[in-house]
Amino acid sequence: MSKKNQTLGEFIIENQQAFPYSSGELSRLINSIRLAAKVVNHEVNKAGLVDITGAVGDTNIQGEEQQKLDVYANQKFIQTLTNREIVCGIASEENDEYITIQGHNKDHKNKYVVLMDPLDGSSNIDVNVSVGTIFSVYRRVTPIGTPVTMEDFLQPGNLQVAAGYIIYGTSTMLVYTTGHGVNGFTLNPAIGTYYLSHPNMKFSEDGNIYSVNEGNYAQFPRGVKDYIKYCQAEEDDRPYTSRYIGSLVSDIHRNMIKGGIYIYPGSSKYPDGKLRLLYECNPMAFIAEQAGGKASNGFKRIMDIKPTELHERVPFFCGSKNMVEKAEECMRNAK
């Protein structure tokens, strides 16, 4: 179905029938994300040149200082999605509350809600390390014609209809799934077109990379410590290689291509870890599963968790299936 050298535009049209609801709206939604990503990419790429880096002074709901580019990316994605008649609501990691989009005729007739982290890993911008955008799409559950409610956003990950990420790296890539596998498109910046460069992306069942911020080791639960010891043991194909960029999109992207596990566990200081269920973990979990990998909170499937609040955090174990299962075994045994 997917041909190399195909553009993202061609791919979307060709695969429209395979989308769960084939009215074309989801295709248009992916299209607007593609457009916003190009604009954000342009800004991210010149971040070192202009005086746009650095903290804007605001703090977001997590109490973190916002970088200027966070604000910019947030505005661009919201603007692009709002201007098209597709989305009825947006929740962003950078906004305390969700946004209701009534549509041009103020009739609330659009079907989809988008949840996103517009610029993840933004503390890496100042040091020229890859950052990313993460998005997650659901069909609203409340009736069309009425304003969205919190219920539309607090859906478990297993109800996502699409999810993806954009990585602003050595190349800019858009990687997404609509539940029919994972495909990656690389932007040719000279002509502004994304090409299908990574068709049908897969996590290998086993891998040899583990990615975790080991600086927090002393605060990790016993099970995570045991798993790290397992990764470092001189046995069979171990020790594994440790790679941690501190930019979720880049760490997961590398591990999907090379085989590996990413862990952001709970700790004695932060029992639920750092990552957000709705903006980071669910979309990455959907991609991981669609690529044959696994995503867990250490004990259960990420996508089966019923969210209770917009900015909820959750421990996150994601990557090659056998590695995640081994980490879960360590968590269980340490209970």
Interface with Mg ion (CB under 5 A): 117, 120
> Which tokens go with 190?
């000279």
**DSSP class of residue 105?**
T
**Which entry of ligand AHM, Mg ion, none binds 33, CB below 5 to 8 A by partner kind?**
none
Residue 71 or 86 having the CB closest to Mg ion: 71
User: Which residue lies nearer to Mg ion by CB, 244 or 329?
Assistant: 244
For ligand AHM, give the closer residue by CB, 30 or 125. Answer: 125
* Cβ–Cβ under 8 Å, residues 264 and 149: no
Report the residue number, 115 or 148, with the smaller CB distance to ligand AHM: 115
Q: Are 209 and 316 in contact (CB under 8 A)?
A: no
Q: Which is nearer to Mg ion, 108 or 274 (CB)?
A: 274
Q: Which does 122 bind (CB under 5 to 8 A by kind): Mg ion, ligand AHM, none?
A: ligand AHM
Residue 221 CB, shortest distance to Mg ion, in Å, is 22
Residue 126 beta carbon to ligand AHM: minimum distance, rounded to whole angstroms: 13
For the sheet with 193-198, list strands across it: 99-100, 87-92, 112-120, 131-139, 162-168, 172-177, 182-188, 193-198
Q: Which does 70 bind (CB under 5 to 8 A by kind): ligand AHM, Mg ion, none?
A: none
Closest distance of CB 168 from ligand AHM, Å: 13
CB of 93 to ligand AHM, least distance (A): 6
CA distance 262 to 248: 8
Binding residues vs ligand AHM (CB under 6 A): 64, 93, 117, 120-122, 213, 246-248, 251, 274
Task: Name the minimum Å distance from CB 129 to ligand AHM.
Answer: 10
| Rounded Cα distance, 309 and 277, in Å | 9
Q: Are 140 and 89 in contact (CB under 8 A)?
A: yes
Nearest approach in angstroms of CB 274 to Mg ion is: 9
Report helix, strand or coil for 103.
coil
State which residue, 28 or 243, has the beta carbon closest to ligand AHM. Answer: 243
Q: Please give the radius of gyration of the chain, using alpha carbons only, rounded to the nearest integer.
A: 19
CA distance 127 to 135: 24
- Which of Mg ion, ligand AHM, none does 322 bind, CB closer than 5 to 8 A by kind? none
- Are residues 124 and 241 in contact, defined by beta-carbon separation less than 8 angstroms? no
Q: How far is CA 292 from CA 83, 181, 256, 288, in A?
A: 35, 9, 10, 6
Residue 152 contacts which entry, ligand AHM, Mg ion, none (Cβ below 5-8 A, type-dependent): none
